[in-house]
Amino acid sequence: MSLQIEILISTMFKEDLSFLEPIFQHNDITDFDIIIVNQTTEDKFLTSENPKIKVINSLERGSPASRNLAIQNATKDICLMSDDDIVYQPNLRDTIVTAYQNFTDASMISFEAIDEEGKPYTTYYPEGRHSKDSLKRIYTWVITFRRLAFKDAQVYFNHYFGVGSVFKGVTEYVFLRNAYDKGLPMQHVAKTIVMHPNESSGRRMGGDNAIYARAAMHQRFYGNLSYLWLIKYIFFLVRCRFIGIGDIAYKFSVGIKGIKMYNTLKSQGKIDQLHEY
């Protein structure tokens, strides 16, 4: 029996399913089961009469909450994380199924994305087993995983990292590092499956939100080495002209606040490193 793929789409304030048309313009939408988590208000509910498209209207806010709700309601073999502003590239289903047939022990397989100009969305590591560093290049919409493997390992998105959360960024890395640290085999396949617009909050490296979240993330995984990382990162931002020399003191203070906030939440027992969500 062929693997069944379920696409988990996070969106907001949708009132009809027309937004799906551009996403699947190069593929047959009937090849997939779809879960749409629509974060909305009580007067703007989304409905679906298609049995293969399940809609969950949620009054919660934040991308981690949306993605976890989708994962918890998934039922098929392979989950593909998704957003509402992407375009899947041709042969999506065959690309994913073939990858899992080739890497039968993989619990997670990441793929690659391009931007509107057809250029690689980021500089990907070579195809192969993931390392802690290679996971940093992986954005949400190229992540696939075996549902049961992640369910058994209790891998979910951390509610404190992501758009609409305390730390507005690095949501994918915290999610994937959780899986990596629990020993799940993770593979990268150098096949393009999606186009994503070039603008992304995760790419605004010199912004306050990015620095705040990345500093907190490094405190999560590396403890007080995060202070050393922060110094190096600030000078990296200057060297690459993401920020100016006059911004150094302020941007450093933003990172320090991120580290302190993470430590505060941890001391209050609000962030459990064994149960990320």
Rounded distance between C-alpha atoms, residue 201 and residue 198, angstroms: 10
44 shares its domain with 82 = yes
**At 145, which helix (H) or strand (E)?**
strand 143-146
188 shares its domain with 214 = no
Neighbours of 146 (CB within 10 A): 19
Three-class secondary structure assignment of 204-269: CCCCHHHHHHHHHHHHHHHCCHHHHHHHHHHHHHHHCCCCCHHHHHHHHHHHHHHHHHHHHHHHCC
Whether the predicted pLDDT of 28 surpasses 80: yes
Q: pLDDT tens digit string along 211-252?
A: 998 999 899 988 989 999 999 999 899 988 888 889 899 999
234 shares its domain with 159 = no
Tell which of 173, 202, 231 closes a domain.
202
216 shares its domain with 176 = no
208 shares its domain with 192 = no
The answer to whether residue 241 sits within a structural domain is yes
Residue among 178, 2, 5 nearest 78 (CA): 5
187 shares its domain with 219 = no
30 shares its domain with 143 = yes
The answer to whether residue 272 sits within a structural domain is no
The answer to whether residue 277 sits within a structural domain is no
81 shares its domain with 215 = no
198 shares its domain with 84 = yes
What pLDDT sits at residue 1? 56
CATH number of the domain within which 157 lies: 3.90.550.10
71 shares its domain with 196 = yes
Tell which of 184, 202, 220 closes a domain.
202
The answer to whether residue 99 sits within a structural domain is yes
The answer to whether residue 76 sits within a structural domain is yes
The answer to whether residue 217 sits within a structural domain is yes
What pLDDT sits at residue 145? 96
Neighbours of 41 (CB within 10 A): 10
Grouping H, G, I as helix, E, B as strand and the rest as coil, residue 89 is coil
Grouping H, G, I as helix, E, B as strand and the rest as coil, residue 203 is helix
Sequential DSSP letters for 113-138:
EE-TTS-BSS-PPPSEE--TTGGGG-
Question: Residue range 160-164: average pLDDT?
Answer: 78
* Domain of residue 190, residue span: 5-202
The answer to whether residue 276 sits within a structural domain is no
The answer to whether residue 26 sits within a structural domain is yes
83 shares its domain with 153 = yes
**Quick one: DSSP state of residue 90?**
T
Grouping H, G, I as helix, E, B as strand and the rest as coil, residue 194 is strand
Q: pLDDT tens digit string along 71-119?
A: 999 999 999 999 888 999 999 999 999 999 999 999 999 999 999 888 9
Q: pLDDT tens digit string along 118-161?
A: 899 988 999 999 999 999 899 999 999 999 999 999 999 888 88
Q: pLDDT tens digit string along 166-220?
A: 887 788 898 999 999 999 999 999 999 999 987 644 447 788 888 998 999 899 9
What pLDDT sits at residue 176? 93
What pLDDT sits at residue 272? 59
Tell which of 186, 202, 218 closes a domain.
202
46 shares its domain with 162 = yes
Looking at the structure of the chain, the number of domains it has is 2
